[in-house]
Amino acid sequence: MNFTFFFTLVGTAVTASTICSIFENIPERSLPFRIWVPFYNRSEVAYWCLYFQEVVIGHYFQATIAIGNDTLVAGMMLLTCAQLQILKYRQKNLPKMLDDVKNSTGLEKDDREKKLIIEMIQHHKTIL
């Protein structure tokens, strides 16, 4: 739902930008962004090809990439923070976990501590 809302919001902004560009740039036959092209861009076909590429395709592709990048980065940050909270919880409850393992298995205390700490280190490496 958030992605759909964000995509709609960005799509509306890009559409508004495109419409404004139509009213500003087309009467003057100028492009919205200064670019160098190796041909004369004032001819009818060249102008419309460049305008379509620059405004329509460029804006919408850039907006789609920005949406994907923004959601990916935010999602990865949330996932990393959640995993760090889980690791913090396990470290905080290490004494209780040692007691639980002591009651359920016949391992020596040092072996239990070593096993749990190794698991926490592996979890930390996985997070990074």
* 57: helix, strand or coil: helix
Predicted confidence band at 104 (pLDDT cuts at 50, 70, 90)? Answer: low
Q: Of 31-35, 52-56, 104-108, which gets the smallest average pLDDT?
A: 104-108
Task: Pick the more confident residue, 29 or 91.
Answer: 91
pLDDT at 117: 86
**What does the domain layout of the chain look like in residue ranges?**
2-77, 93-128
CA–CA dist 7, 3 (Å, integer): 6
The band of 102, judged by pLDDT with boundaries at 50, 70 and 90, is: low
pLDDT confidence of residue 77: 93
